[in-house]
Every structure is written in structure tokens, then in C-alpha cells.
Structure 1
Amino acid sequence: MQPDLARIGLVEDDPIMGGSIVQRLELEGWKVTWWQSGRDAISGIEGIASVLDLVICDIRLPDISGEEVFSELASLPNSPPFIFVTGHGEIDQAVRLMRSGATDFMTKPFAMDEFLRRIEAGRRTTNSQLRLKGYVLGESPAIQHAEDLLRRYARHDLPVLITGETGAGKEVAARLLHEVSSRGAEPFIAVNCAAIPADLLESEIFGHEKGAFTGAQQRHFGYAERAGEGTLFLDEIGDMPWSLQAKLLRLIEAGSFNRVGGETACKFRARVVSATHRELGLRDQHSGFREDLYFRLAVLPVTIPPLRERHEDITWLLDRFLETAVSRSDRRIRGFSALTEEAALAYPWPGNVRELRNRVERAVALSTSEWILPGDLFPEQSIWGGGSTVFVPLADVRDAAERRQIERALEETGGQIAKAAGLLAVSRTTLWEKMTRLGLADRARSTS
């Protein structure tokens, strides 16, 4: 499908490669502006940044580097997305640029069909496209930023390290990364390094040969082998024994491993994705984690924020977990009462998303009403009375309720302030003031 009057900026000093790219992109329907030096690109892009859908930039330029071009232009309002074209020796630099906000990178030489696919995936997203994007991890800007990062990482085979508190949803994020990657049809093998005894973990990951140790009566294929060309997900990687970390480092660097008791190297073809709630990057002797392994695992890092920092996701998750729990039971539950939603928004959720899911499942099982009440979701007397009661400022409860109703009205009206104000029975000015105070001004449609 051809892009609709889309515009690309190309920064490439090689006249042969640049000419070839321009010719092909124009055949595909793109309008291309080509600069052959970094400084020309900076001065040229500054004037048309808001109308460019994408910038394709070589890292090695004759005057300044592509990284300097990106750094100079990244602070512009409405700066366009950047895809970098790199040589093999510049991959570390390209990865650093992705962490800084670049959309993607491609290594020379590349297939043109894959190049075009990356361009279409990386082009600027319009407001209407954002509404149709279909985020699956949540509604909050924080989790959607993490999901955007995962979808960008999915285009590469480099190791990914997912960090975040226990219960925040790291495995869910890893599964999403696998599903949207080119390996999605291959196995997703999850290993919890904290749940398997240390003396068994090596055999479970790498497998063993018959007779390798007492009780090894036949050959056993480990998780690394069973992952095939899919994803090997190592959860709680920070709990992996020191002695096994060296073998994991070899697995990643050499792309091969030996079964326990085996002499023949086995080819490792899967992608490694790991997760931890620990601070593995701390430079101290007591971390218990190899620094060289940390840097190999954290080539592409992403953090899943805790639920207390994602207020917009609380009611969104409540509804989805309720739907799942009800589908597995014979109960008729219509939803959560308004008081229950307010209580959920005021609760700090120390156990994160896992705690929220568990509470919803328990409430569905125990509720005696068609509506889940606060006592169903939070049966502890220490919260609702008979102990040290926790009070939340009324202003916080009011703001949370207003935010939720405004978001629903904007969703219903496609971001049109006038129509949303009518649904909420307030003036347009009052609604805009509340949206600005609650950080919702960007939800308005630009034509409103």
C-alpha cells in the first residue's frame, strides 16, 4: 500500500546509495528531500520538521555525525522520527540512539523490501492513527511508551532486558515482544530462574546427556534447545547462580552451548529476553551479577512502570480482568460500583498488576451482588475499618473521578471538546480548564 503523500528526509553523502534510495522511494509514492551533509540537513530540516513523516540518516557523514544531526534536531517541537543507516562497526552507537529516542536502525547492506517495511512502520503516527493503534498493555502514557519501545525492539534480534517491580507485568511485556516480532509463530519458552533449585537450573536450561549424573537415565532437551528459533525468556535473571552466568554469557556471545555431560556443541537460534526486579547494573561487589553479562543482556532495555505510577490503567485493567474472570465462572457480574472504582484509584497497589488481577478474581468468586463493592475488592478490615484506617485526600478522589469521566467523554466524542462538554453538562471553557489541570489537554482533537 503506498503512503498518502508522505514526505521523507534523506541524509546520505554517498551519491550512488542516496540516488538509489531516492529513486525507489519516489516510485513507492514518497516525496523525498535529500541532503548530502549533516549541517545542510540540520538547516533544511529545521524549516520543514513538522511536515516530515520520517528522516533516514546515515551515521557516518562527511562533516558531522548522524548522531549530532539527531541531537540537534531532537529538541525541535514536532521533531520527525529518525531511522539510522549503519555499518556493522556502528551498531552500538545505533542502539544508543534508539535509547535516546530514534525509531529504528538498519545495518548495511539491507534488502530493499525490508527497508521499505521499516520505513512504513517507523513513519510519524497521526492522532487518528494513535487512537486506532490498539495498545494492549494499558492506557497510561508511561505504559504506552514502554509498549512503543517493545514494538520497536521487536524488529531486531538483540537481547532485551525488561526491568520493573514484582508483579508489574514483565512477562506479559515479554510475550508481547515475542508475538509482534518475526519469531511470533515460534516457541516462547519462559524460565523462572528463582523458582528452580540452583543445582537443577543448568540442566533445565541447557539439557543433559544420558548418564551425565545420577538419575540422568536419558537425554534431556533443555529450555535453550526447546526454544528453537523462538524466544528464550529468562525471568528473575538476577537470581541466576554466579557459576551459571558464565555459561549464559557464552550462549549469547557464541550462539552455542553444550548439554551437561555432552561434548558436542549445540547451535542456539533463539532470541534471549530477560527480566528482573533487581538493580543489576549497580557497580558493587555485592550485586552477585557479572557486569559483562549484564551489558550483553541489556543491549535493548525497557522498564515497566509500577501500577501506582499508571493511574489511568487501574480502571482499564479492572474491566479486563473482570471480563476474563466472569468468563471462567457462572456468576453474573455487571461491573464495579462507583465507590469500588474510587477505592481502587486511591489504593497504592504494592503488588502491582498481579495483585489487582488476584483481587478481581477473588471478588468475582465471593461477591453476593451483581456489582462488585469495595468490601469485595478490599475485604481487609485494616483498610475499611476496625484498625488503622487509611484515608485519602478528597481532592485526589475527586480528581481521579473527574479524569475518568472526561476521558470517557473524549473517547465517546473522538476528542471533540464541545460535544464532550455537552455530555458532561459543563461549559467548553470549564472542560478545557479541567483538562489542562489534569494533564488531558493533548486528548483534544486539533480541529476542536
Structure 2
Amino acid sequence: MTEPVRVVLIEDDPIMGESLVQRLTLEGFPTVWAKTGAEGLAALRRERPDAVISDIKLPDLSGEEVFRRALPELGGVPILFITAFGEIEQAVRLVRAGADDYLTKPFPIGRLVERLKRVTPRARAAVAGPAGFARSDATRRVEQALRRVGPIDSTVLLTGETGTGKEVAARFLHAVSDRADKPFVAVNCAAIPPELMDSQVFGHERGAFTGAQARHIGFAEQAEDGMLFLDEVAELPLAVQAKLLRLLQERSFTRVGGTQLLEFRARVVCATNADLTEMIRRGGFREDLYYRIHVIALTLPPLRDRREEILPLAAGFVAEIAARFGRPEPRIGDSARLALLDHPWPGNVRELRNRIERAVALGEGDGLEPADLFPELGLTAAEAAPVASLSEVRDEAERRHILAALDQTGGQIARAASQLGVSRTTLWEKMRRLGIDRKTMEDEP
């Protein structure tokens, strides 16, 4: 049975506070009520809640101060803000900095309950990496290292296998740094076509190349005083690597087609699952850039080295995905639990989530069994006889995933690309390569 979601409410208005506590408790959200920011921060450390609801205007601290101080303690726990009309700009700024949502007074309490129900399943699954500390010694060590380097502005390189939670670690590092209230800009270097990488990262001026009809502000500029996270940094073309090196050395850059020198103020965090030293040996990665981004290096442990996290992660994903699909939450049977613990998880947390999502989507009973999670184990000898190459398996998995995204978005390419975390150009190219008929899709402007 799923444990109730525990809430810390920070609200100084006695009438609203009492009303919220009563309604949330009736809805199955045990709530601890703090009447000042200081009381709230103490309650957060003491209670370790699943969600936080906070007024922006408090008698002692502002909502931004509560948010900034709470993030290092809470990791991925969602925070919802309550705001007066005149504080909307501040609330929007908080959401951009990482808060989950805000409501403008006055509001129906039922709306708050619905938003709380929407964000808390994800909180339970937020232990996909260092944000869910104390699950294992391995992630605890990563947490401690991230906290130590948080206040330091040195460049950080996060390494580890695919699916271990490198972006989660980067976001936590941002949360415990002095830049927590500044932007966090994540760039998936593998998802941007090489010919567009320069202009996407550094921006371009109008007329810089064919199709550049307006100035484009790149990721480096969007990061402002915050953090620029370059995921899959090994995918950067050599020419862009050279420009990134200059960015780190000189703390300045120019847009493509521009002449104005722009100051770069953000902290850079990079991540990769590639062996950069081997890439240097083969000429695929610049050695001087490697030493620039390798100032502080942390390795994210694979899921097989933190097995005590597998079942809590699985339970969190089941709750989140069942809520998203609008279905009753299936229980994980004893045999399924053993199968989860026995699996080597080559795809790490990402594989676990994908297997859970497939099982919840296709499951017909009220529980999950090994066959739901590992359908390949039920293949007959005849079905299993032709062993496909790794590239064939990868292409087929990618094809099915793209088709699922297109189906969910009604064939709208831009929305599907956004869900998949790639550009529309990249999605078109993958569809062409995988033989997905674009004529049946709606290509909106």
C-alpha cells in the first residue's frame, strides 16, 4: 500500500492556514503547518516531506529566501507557491528557477489539491539520481561530493553510464550552489544536428546564414549568471569544441555572424558516458578542452551498484505513471520484485522507468508480474532464434518510441520532438532513416 504524501505548509494567515490543513488532511495529505519562514525551514529538515506549499509573502522571510534555503535540503521534492496578484512576476521567476507551480489568491482549494496530486507522484520517483539521497551508500557519496563543490565555481564533469542520472546530479548541484536562483539551461548536445550546434549554443545574428531571419539568443547567453549544462559533451563537433574552449578561457564569445564580444558569466557543467581519453587518442575530442572541463570530475554509479534503490525507484515510477495514465496503481508482486532485483540493468534508471511504463501501459491485471516487466523472457525458442544486431535492436526501439510520441501528439512533429527532447530537424531525419512515413504526420509551423 502506498504511504500517504506528507506536506509541509508555510502560511502566516491563520484563516487560510487552518482551512488548507483541514482540506489537505481530509484529502489524504497529512500536513504540518508552519506560520513563518524560519518555522517552515525547521519543519522541512525535521519532517522530510513529499511536497511543500508556501506563501510568497511571509513575516520574516520572502518566498525566494525559503526556496533558496530549502532546495539543498529537499532535492527533487516539489514546491508549490501561493501568491497575491502583485507577486505574480516573482512567482514566475521562482518557477523558472525550479519551483513546480504557483497559484494566485484567491483560488479554490480543490485546484490546489489537484495540482498537488499532479506533482507528488513525480516527487516519489525523483530518486532517479542524487536527488533521492540516503537510498544507498553510493548515492550518498555523490550527494556529499556535490554539496562540497556546490559553492565553488569550478567547471564540473559528470561521467557515468547512460541512464544513471547525470542531469539530476547537475540540477542538484545548481540547487546547492550560490546560483540556485539563477537560470539552469540544459543542452543535449547529441540531439542538435552538427551544422546547427554553433548557432544553437552561441546564438546568431540576423542574416548570419541562409534562413537566419532574426537574431537568435543561444544557450550560453540564456544561462546568464546561472548554470550551463552540456549533456553528451563528447558529441560536440571539433569546431564547436574550439569555441567552447575559448568561452571557458576568456569568459566571452560572439554570436555567429556577429562582431560584438559578449561576456559569459555562467558556470559550466558537462556530462558524458563516453571515454574522453580514448576519444582524444583517436582525435575526436580536444585534449586542451578535456583539461578545462575536467577540473572537478564525479562519476555517477550504475544502478547495479545501488540495488537498494531499485524497489523504491520502481514503486515511485509505478505511482507516477499510473497517475499520468489515469489508472489504478498496480502492486508489484513478490516474484516481480525478485525479478527487478535480479536484473543487471544495463540501461540503469532509464531502463527501469521504461520497463515500468510499458508494464503499466499494457498490464491487464491489478498487479505487475515478471512477464509484464521482462516480456522478452517469455519468448519461444522459434521467436528468439534470429538474434538481431545491436544496431537493429536500437533502431527498432527508437522507431517504436518515435511512433508512440507521434501517436500521443496526434502526429504533430514539433510537439513530438519536444516530448522526445530533440529538435524538429533531428526528428525528421530520424523518421527518414527509420522509414516512418512523414506524409501521415501534421507538420505545423
TM-score class, shorter: 0.5 to 0.7
Q: Partner residue of 2:139? A: 143
Give the one of 298, 303, 307 matched to 1:307: 303
Cα shift at 1:262: 0.8
Alignment pair present for 1:355 and 2:354: no
Alignment pair present for 1:269 and 2:233: no
Residues 234-292 of structure 1, C-alpha deviations (whole Å, 9 max, x = no match): 01101111111111011111111100111111111111011001111348530511111
Q: Partner residue of 1:291? A: 287
Alignment of 1:7-406 (within 5 A): 136-137=132-133, 139-282=135-278, 284-380=280-376, 383-384=377-378, 386-387=380-381
Q: Distance in 1 between matches of 2:382 and 2:139?
A: 33
- Checking the alignment, whether the CA contact within 8 Å between 1:139 and 1:312 is kept in structure 2 is yes
Q: Partner residue of 1:35? A: none
Q: Secondary structure at the match of 1:260?
A: coil
- Checking the alignment, whether the CA contact within 8 Å between 2:323 and 2:329 is kept in structure 1 is no
Q: Distance in 1 between matches of 2:278 and 2:143?
A: 25
Task: Say which structure is richer in helix.
Answer: 2
Aligned partner letter, 2:336: T
Q: Secondary structure at the match of 1:156?
A: coil
* Cα distance change, pair 164–287 in 1 and its aligned pair in 2 (3 A): farther
Identity of aligned residues (%): 51
Residues 361-415 of structure 1, C-alpha deviations (whole Å, 9 max, x = no match): 11111222222111111122xx24524999xxxxxxxxxxxxxxxxxxxxxxxxx
- Checking the alignment, whether the CA contact within 8 Å between 1:207 and 1:221 is kept in structure 2 is yes
Q: Distance in 2 between matches of 1:135 and 1:243?
A: 35
Alignment of 1:399-418 (within 5 A): none
Q: Secondary structure at the match of 2:246?
A: helix
Q: Partner residue of 2:126? A: none
Q: Secondary structure at the match of 1:194?
A: helix
TM-score normalized by structure 1?
A: 0.55
Q: Distance in 2 between matches of 1:295 and 1:180?
A: 24
Q: Distance in 1 between matches of 2:191 and 2:370?
A: 34
Q: Secondary structure at the match of 1:302?
A: strand
* Cα distance change, pair 135–283 in 1 and its aligned pair in 2 (3 A): closer
Aligned partner letter, 1:341: R
Q: Distance in 2 between matches of 1:183 and 1:340?
A: 42
Q: Secondary structure at the match of 1:328?
A: helix
Q: Distance in 2 between matches of 1:347 and 1:217?
A: 51
Residues 403-441 of structure 1, C-alpha deviations (whole Å, 9 max, x = no match): xxxxxxxxxxxxxxxxxxxxxxxxxxxxxxxxxxxxxxx
Cα shift at 1:304: 0.6
Q: Secondary structure at the match of 1:205?
A: helix
Aligned partner letter, 1:236: E
* Cα distance change, pair 375–138 in 1 and its aligned pair in 2 (3 A): farther
- Checking the alignment, whether the CA contact within 8 Å between 1:138 and 1:313 is kept in structure 2 is no
Q: Secondary structure at the match of 2:141?
A: helix
Q: Distance in 2 between matches of 1:271 and 1:284?
A: 24
Aligned partner letter, 1:164: G
* Cα distance change, pair 287–312 in 1 and its aligned pair in 2 (3 A): farther
* Cα distance change, pair 353–137 in 1 and its aligned pair in 2 (3 A): farther
Aligned partner letter, 1:386: T
* Cα distance change, pair 164–388 in 1 and its aligned pair in 2 (3 A): farther
- Checking the alignment, whether the CA contact within 8 Å between 1:138 and 1:316 is kept in structure 2 is no
Residues 24-73 of structure 1, C-alpha deviations (whole Å, 9 max, x = no match): xxxxxxxxxxxxxxxxxxxxxxxxxxxxxxxxxxxxxxxxxxxxxxxxxx
Q: Distance in 1 between matches of 2:179 and 2:296?
A: 17
Q: Secondary structure at the match of 1:158?
A: coil
Aligned length: 257
Q: Which has the larger radius of gyration?
A: 1
Q: Distance in 1 between matches of 2:326 and 2:210?
A: 49
Q: Which has the higher contact order (CA 8 A, sep 6+)?
A: 2
Q: Secondary structure at the match of 2:198?
A: helix
Aligned partner letter, 1:257: F
Q: Distance in 1 between matches of 2:381 and 2:304?
A: 23
Q: Distance in 2 between matches of 1:281 and 1:376?
A: 40
Cα shift at 1:222: 0.2
- Checking the alignment, whether the CA contact within 8 Å between 1:135 and 1:144 is kept in structure 2 is no
Aligned partner letter, 1:172: V
Q: Distance in 1 between matches of 2:319 and 2:347?
A: 21
* Cα distance change, pair 283–374 in 1 and its aligned pair in 2 (3 A): closer
TM-score normalized by structure 2?
A: 0.55
Q: Distance in 1 between matches of 2:142 and 2:364?
A: 38
- Checking the alignment, whether the CA contact within 8 Å between 1:333 and 1:369 is kept in structure 2 is no
Segments ≥4 residues shifted beyond 6 Å:
none
After the TM superposition, which of the residue ranges 262-271 and 322-331 deviates more from structure 2? 322-331
Q: Partner residue of 2:88? A: none
Q: Distance in 2 between matches of 1:237 and 1:284?
A: 13
Residues 7-30 of structure 1, C-alpha deviations (whole Å, 9 max, x = no match): xxxxxxxxxxxxxxxxxxxxxxxx
Unpaired segments of 5 or more residues in structure 2?
Answer: 1-68, 74-129, 385-445
Q: Distance in 1 between matches of 2:272 and 2:325?
A: 33
